[in-house]
């Protein structure tokens, strides 16, 4: 075996464990899900499942609850992703400067990210609870009737968005801070010599240099927030008035509460198509060098 | 140079793989040694019966005591119970998923109302029971456990709901705590008086303000008004009738024009308020009595919850915990027989389920036992629930083909209560949702 063959074999052997996991835990479920989505699936006796073609997809598009869930999900994404990206960019640029205690600030900004969604959801629910939550307790001194944060159809989703931003900001912050620190300082020195303003330097140096990192954060956050489940599951159970029933929450209920596994698989496939499509657009127009 | 790098990488990879192998071997050894530790106290003939429960709080502790007693006394010889507790909210999802994969427990707690949904996943008890088995249980409960002529469960209890009230607050408002309301007008007067004479709220349909609790009270009041939840075959929603809409209107008025509570369904708000003396009355199940009994100095009592407006009959909604035998093709006959014996022992030999958990035991001997009558819960709650049973005033939850305990099914009631939707629109939404669930199954 010559060196080239040996290296090829090494490469395959290195990749093999992942490929096995990929096939078993991703590719197979993906294909199985597609298969299930074409049936009225009987989980107890799969062989008795009835083939209905695209029936589940048609039903899905005809169900108002599906459109409500899709609308809620888009609303959540619109509320979270831009604010998260902008805020984490601002924090990253701020901490990149020689500010007092910036090491501590980095730790503080990142620390919520290490929490699980269950802890975040429960703590915030208790924090915002009417009757015994500290937020409304103190608001009670200045307001006659403080808001029912998680019980109002108008407020519930924005509250989930704020909680999500607080929770996940740290991850984006670290990515963007690393990206900012990779921008050569000589570019700023040259711009300064040319008399460029801070805004101009930001617009023409910082943003273009960080474009790939920003695109990465946008795509990752879009995918993550479009699949939001834990926050409504823990904090609002999809309510009030279905105002926080997101697409994955809807899918979960269809599968595990109603045992409509074929239908849920169809919803999952639509979600998959949306995520692939939007990720491609994001990558094409934000991350691509030709943009 | 390249060869040298390759050689090094091979070496380091070998080291890594070797290290991983060692770690893996240690991990496996750890597993096998853990099994060894678990099994070390058991004889080779010992049989472990896997038992899943969903109880927490007061009845959770009672079930732990029952299982511990079984494992200490070993009344069935070498049989032991391996109890697994799964949180209430996830229980039926996990049980369903496990049963689909034939990985379920040997026996499991199941609400009587869920048997319709799990029917195809349960093994009947019939062939394992003696002819006289039925004689041990309250007949109405025994019959509730039958499906198409097969005994799909052994009844553990009945757990109807009652109206719990704070006697101190009644006195503070100038009401006689020994003469609680018996109808809607008396109930309304009591609520109005509490609101006007104290700083407390008067009433909530459930202390938890959760959709499932809202449903229990809705079903109770709807039934008292002569309304039905479904048709006889459980194929068509019927709670969107005038009776149901009137109860929905009452929910809206409780937090609206009556001002008995605020339009806010923050979980457990009312439970905390009730236990802190800031809420006078709330409807809840049998399990609430031991919780209140455990509070030092809390002056509570309970009355029969027959307070629906324009009431036609006295009824309280009731659930029933049962023990089922999940299907499991891999389970041997010896284990199945042991599991059945364990289920019989749990349901027939434990007054603790009444005295400590607060439920009405389904076994006749236990229900009529002195232990139950000597319990501190007897005069306040158990005796009244017992009377309701004897007077045939319990309306058991229908055995729906969907999970009737699923919170999201009944969240329209919470939305009516918190004024997120009008009573009419809320009921319409609920009817559409529930009818959809029925249609999907059928």
Q: Where are the domains of chain A?
A: 65-287
Own/partner contacts of A138-142, CB < 8 Å, gap of 24 or more, are none
Secondary structure class of B182 (helix, strand, coil): coil
Name which of B12-16, B323-327, B354-358 the model is least confident about.
B12-16
Tally the domains of chain B.
2
CA atoms within 13 A on the CB side of B215: 23
Using the beta-carbon criterion (under 8 Å), do A258 and B402 form an inter-chain contact? yes
Boundary-marking domain end, from B361, B385, B419: B361
Domain-located, residue B40: no
Q: Are residues B142 and B253 in the same domain?
A: no
Q: Are residues B67 and B151 in the same domain?
A: yes
So what CATH class is A65-287? mainly alpha
**Bridge partners for B285 per DSSP:** B161
Report DSSP letters for B95-148, one per residue. HHHHHHTT---SEEEEEGGGHHHHGGGB--SGGGS-TTGGGGB-HHHHHHTEET
Q: Other C-beta atoms within 10 Å of A8: how many?
A: 12
Q: Are residues B62 and B167 in the same domain?
A: no
Each residue of A251-267: pLDDT tens digit? 998 988 888 899 999 99
Cα–Cα distances in angstroms (integers) from residue B217 to residues B104, B189, B204, in the given order: 32, 19, 10
Q: Using the predicted structure, report yes or no on whether residue A132 has a pLDDT greater than 90.
A: no
Q: Are residues B237 and B178 in the same domain?
A: yes
Q: Are residues B220 and B126 in the same domain?
A: no
Q: Other C-beta atoms within 10 Å of A23: how many?
A: 12
CA atoms within 13 A on the CB side of B365: 11
Task: Report the Cα B160 to chain-centroid distance in Å.
Answer: 10
Option in B3, B10, B415 nearest A240 (CB):
B415
- Indicate which CATH number applies to the domain containing B291: 3.40.190.10
Chain B's closest residue to A259, CA to CA, is B441
Q: Are residues B287 and B206 in the same domain?
A: yes
**Bridge partners for A39 per DSSP:** A51
Each residue of B61-74: pLDDT tens digit? 999 999 999 999 99
Question: pLDDT tier at B227 (50, 70, 90 boundaries)?
Answer: very high
Q: What is the mean pLDDT of residues B281-305?
A: 95
Question: pLDDT tier at B284 (50, 70, 90 boundaries)?
Answer: very high
Q: Using the predicted structure, report yes or no on whether residue B46 has a pLDDT greater than 90.
A: no
Domain-located, residue B177: yes
Domain boundaries, position B187: 161-317+399-441
Q: Are residues B138 and B257 in the same domain?
A: no
The structure tokens 């007061």 sit at B58
Q: Are residues B286 and B351 in the same domain?
A: no
Share of residues in chain B with pLDDT > 90 (%): 75
Q: What is the pLDDT of residue A287?
A: 59
Option in B3, B263, B407 nearest A237 (CB):
B407
Distance of alpha carbon B144 from alpha carbon A183, whole angstroms = 73
Share of residues in chain B with pLDDT > 70 (%): 90
Q: Using the predicted structure, report yes or no on whether residue B439 has a pLDDT greater than 90.
A: no
Q: Are residues B138 and B172 in the same domain?
A: no
Domain-located, residue B437: yes
Report DSSP letters for A92-136, one per residue. HHHHHS--TTHHHHHHHHHGGGGS-HHHHHHHHHHHH-TTT-HHH
A contact residues 199-258, partner B, Cβ 8 Å cutoff: 237-242, 253, 256-258
Domain-located, residue B16: no
Share of residues in chain A with pLDDT > 90 (%): 60
Q: Are residues B170 and B226 in the same domain?
A: yes
Using the beta-carbon criterion (under 8 Å), do B272 and A258 form an inter-chain contact? no
**Bridge partners for B137 per DSSP:** B363
A147 CA: distance to closest CA in chain B (Å): 10
């Amino acid at each position: 075996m010559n060196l080239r063959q040996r290296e090829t074999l090494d490469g395959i052997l290195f990749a093999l464990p992942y490929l096995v996991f990929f096939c078993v835990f991703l590719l197979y479920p993906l294909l199985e899900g597609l298969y299930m989505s074409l049936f009225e699936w009987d989980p107890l006796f799969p062989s008795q499942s009835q083939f209905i073609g695209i029936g589940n997809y048609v039903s899905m598009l005809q169900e108002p609850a599906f459109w409500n869930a899709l609308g809620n999900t888009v609303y959540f994404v619109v509320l979270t992703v831009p604010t998260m990206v902008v805020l984490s960019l601002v924090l990253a640029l701020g901490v990149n400067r020689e500010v007092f205690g910036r090491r501590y600030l980095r730790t503080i900004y990142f620390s919520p990210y290490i929490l699980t969604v269950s802890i975040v959801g429960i703590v915030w629910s208790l924090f915002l609870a009417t009757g015994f939550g500290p937020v409304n307790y103190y608001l009670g001194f200045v307001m006659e009737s403080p808001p029912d944060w998680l019980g109002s159809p108008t407020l519930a989703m924005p509250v989930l968005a704020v909680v999500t931003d607080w929770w996940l900001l740290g991850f984006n912050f670290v990515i963007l801070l690393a990206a900012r620190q990779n921008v050569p300082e000589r570019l700023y020195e040259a711009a300064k010599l040319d008399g460029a303003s801070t805004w101009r330097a930001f617009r023409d140096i910082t943003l273009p240099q960080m474009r790939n990192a920003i695109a990465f954060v946008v795509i990752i956050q879009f995918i993550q927030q479009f699949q939001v489940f834990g926050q409504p599951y823990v904090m609002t159970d999809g309510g009030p008035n279905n105002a926080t029933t997101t697409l994955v929450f809807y899918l979960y209920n269809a599968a595990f509460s109603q045992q409509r596994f074929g239908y849920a698989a169809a919803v999952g496939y639509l979600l998959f198509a949306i995520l692939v499509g939007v990720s491609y657009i994001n990558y094409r127009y934000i991350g691509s060098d030709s943009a | 140079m390249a060869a040298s790098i390759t050689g090094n990488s091979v070496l380091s990879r070998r080291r890594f793989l070797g290290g991983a192998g060692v770690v893996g071997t240690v991990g496996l050894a750890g597993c096998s040694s853990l099994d060894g530790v678990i099994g070390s106290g058991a004889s080779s003939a010992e049989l472990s019966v896997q038992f899943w429960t969903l109880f927490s709080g007061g009845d959770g502790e009672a079930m732990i005591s029952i299982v511990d007693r079984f494992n200490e006394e070993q009344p069935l010889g070498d049989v032991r119970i391996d109890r697994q507790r799964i949180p209430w909210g996830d229980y039926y999802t996990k049980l369903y998923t496990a049963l689909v994969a034939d990985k379920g427990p040997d026996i499991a707690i199941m609400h009587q109302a869920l048997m319709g949904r799990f029917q195809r996943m349960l093994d009947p008890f019939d062939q394992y029971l003696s002819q006289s088995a039925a004689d041990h249980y309250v007949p109405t409960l025994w019959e509730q456990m039958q499906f198409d002529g097969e005994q799909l469960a052994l009844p553990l209890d009945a757990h109807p709901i009652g109206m719990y009230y704070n006697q101190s607050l009644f006195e503070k408002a100038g009401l006689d705590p020994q003469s609680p309301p018996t109808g809607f007008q008396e109930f309304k007067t009591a609520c109005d008086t509490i609101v006007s004479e104290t700083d407390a709220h008067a009433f909530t349909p459930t202390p938890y303000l959760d959709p499932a609790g809202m449903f229990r009270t809705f079903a109770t009041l709807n039934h008292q008004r002569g309304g039905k939840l479904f048709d006889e075959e459980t194929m068509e929603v019927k709670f969107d009738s005038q009776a149901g809409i009137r109860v929905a209107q009452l929910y809206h008025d409780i937090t609206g024009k009556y001002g008995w509570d605020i339009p806010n369904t923050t979980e457990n708000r009312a439970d905390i308020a009730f236990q802190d003396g800031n809420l006078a009355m709330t409807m809840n199940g049998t399990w609430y009595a031991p919780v209140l009994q455990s509070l030092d100095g809390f002056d509570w009592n309970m009355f029969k919850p027959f307070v629906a407006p324009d009431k036609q009959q006295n009824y309280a909604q009731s659930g029933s915990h049962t023990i089922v035998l999940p299907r499991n093709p891999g389970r041997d006959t010896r284990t199945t027989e042991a599991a059945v014996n364990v289920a019989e022992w749990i349901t027939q030999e434990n007054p603790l389920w009444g005295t400590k958990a607060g439920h009405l035991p389904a076994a006749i001997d236990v229900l009529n036992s002195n232990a139950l009558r000597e319990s501190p819960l007897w005069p306040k709650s158990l005796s009244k629930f017992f009377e309701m049973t004897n007077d045939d005033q319990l309306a058991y939850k229908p055995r729906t083909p969907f999970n009737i305990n699923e919170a999201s099914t009944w969240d329209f009631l919470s939305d009516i209560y918190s004024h997120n939707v009008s009573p009419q629109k809320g009921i319409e939404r609920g009817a559409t949702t529930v009818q959809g669930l029925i249609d999907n199954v059928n």
